[in-house]
Each structure stands twice: as structure tokens, then as C-alpha cells.
């Protein structure tokens, strides 16, 4: 007796998973590009610093005090301020000193010309400015970088009339008030890399 087994067999095979691989290639920057970038940054920084330190900054002149005697002699204390990162040389100061009488104040005849009631031809807020003298000097002054310096500049006696007027002004105060003065002028300033030209004295009233 033979056993005929007609059963069919199915072979089971494991599922084959397909794996997909993706490759990302990150390019490396060449050394030349890195070096070039570093040099450009240094050049940009150098240019910025060069402009920052060498760019011209306006210098200033201030008249701090005025000293005046009845004989017409005197001097002014001028502050020279250097805002730059390099030295500045100052020269040729030429500053005129004026007296501004108060409204209602009597002015001595010695202060006026015979034909012109305002010989100087200068008016400030409707008041005639009477010239008393000039601050001048042939000396040269120097200020270091980012510094200020005070210099005494003598007043030149321009005429006998100005001397007489200065004396009259000091001896005749108005209602116990200090006399009002005004300056107008400039001092030349320059450095090895820039010429600032005429630097005007800061405007303001002075009392003596």
C-alpha cells in the first residue's frame, strides 16, 4: 500500500527590504578662500581704524579770561583745544577786543571819533562796538593729540585813543555793573596731514 500524498507545499521566503542610501557631499572650503577672507577682514578693519584716527576733527579756541589795566596793557588767556589724534600747531593769533556799553551808559568822548560816532563800524544787537585793542603774537603754540592748552596772548596797544578809552571804561562803571566786552578773531591751526585754516574764537560776552 502506497501512500500518495498529493499535498502541495509552498516555500516561504523572507521579504527582501530594499534599502535606499542617499549620500550628501559637503565640499570643503579651499584654504585660499579662508586666507582671502581673513585678509579682507584685516584690510577692512585697518581701513576703518585709519579713517577713525585720521579723519579731521574741528579744533576750537576759547577766551577764558581777560586782564586789562588802566594804562591799556593787558592779555587774554586763550584755551586751544585739539580734538584730533595727532598734534596741531597754532600760529598768527589775531583777535580784536571790543567794549559794548550798556543801553543808557554814558561813553567818554575819548572813545569816539570826531566825525563818526561808531568809528569801528561794528554793531552787535544795535550797540556800537568800541575797539580797545588786539591780541596778537608771533609765537607758535602746539597741542598734543586729544588735549587742550592755555596760552597767554598779549594785547597790542593800537592807538592812544584806544588806551584812553580802555582807561575811561575801567574807571567809570555803569551802576556798579561789570563792563561788557566782546572778541572777534581767529588763530591759524594746522597739522602735518591737514590744514584747518583760520579757527574762529568762540563767540561770547566777557565781563571785567
- In the chain the domains, ranked by start, together with CATH numbers, are 60-207 (2.60.40.10)
C-alpha cell at 72: 591799556
User: What is the mean predicted confidence (pLDDT) over 144-161?
Assistant: 90
Confidence of residue 108 (pLDDT cuts 50, 70, 90): confident
pTM value is 0.73
Work out the number of other CB atoms within 10 angstroms of the CB of residue 160. 10
What is the Cα–Cα distance from 71 to 164, expressed in whole angstroms?
Answer: 8
Residue 14 is predicted with a pLDDT of 53
DSSP secondary structure string for all residues of 160-186: HHHHHHHHHHHHS-BTTBPPEEEEEEE
Which residues neighbour 44 within 8 Å (Cβ) at sequence distance 6 or greater?
none
Specify whether the CB–CB gap between 93 and 155 falls below 8 A. no
Amino acid at each position: 500500500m502506497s501512500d500518495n500524498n498529493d499535498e502541495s507545499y509552498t516555500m516561504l521566503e523572507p521579504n527582501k527590504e530594499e534599502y535606499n542610501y542617499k549620500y550628501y557631499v559637503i565640499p570643503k572650503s579651499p584654504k585660499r578662500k579662508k586666507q582671502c577672507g581673513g585678509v579682507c577682514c584685516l584690510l577692512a578693519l585697518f581701513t576703518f581704524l585709519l579713517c577713525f584716527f585720521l579723519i579731521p576733527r574741528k579744533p576750537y579756541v576759547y577766551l577764558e579770561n581777560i586782564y586789562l589795566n588802566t594804562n591799556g596793557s593787558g592779555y587774554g588767556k586763550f584755551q586751544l583745544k585739539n580734538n584730533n589724534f595727532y598734534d596741531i600747531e597754532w600760529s598768527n593769533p589775531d583777535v580784536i577786543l571790543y567794549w559794548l556799553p550798556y543801553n543808557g551808559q554814558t561813553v567818554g568822548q575819548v572813545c569816539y571819533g570826531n566825525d563818526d560816532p561808531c568809528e569801528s563800524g561794528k554793531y552787535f544787537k544795535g550797540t556800537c562796538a568800541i575797539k580797545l585793542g588786539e591780541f596778537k603774537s608771533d609765537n607758535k603754540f602746539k597741542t598734543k593729540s586729544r588735549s587742550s592748552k592755555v596760552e597767554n596772548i598779549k594785547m597790542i596797544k593800537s592807538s592812544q585813543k584806544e588806551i584812553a578809552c580802555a582807561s575811561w571804561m575801567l574807571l567809570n562803571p555803569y551802576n556798579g555793573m561789570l563792563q561788557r566786552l566782546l572778541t572777534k578773531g581767529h588763530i591759524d591751526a594746522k597739522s602735518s596731514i591737514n590744514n584747518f585754516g583760520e579757527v574762529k574764537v568762540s563767540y561770547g560776552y566777557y565781563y571785567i
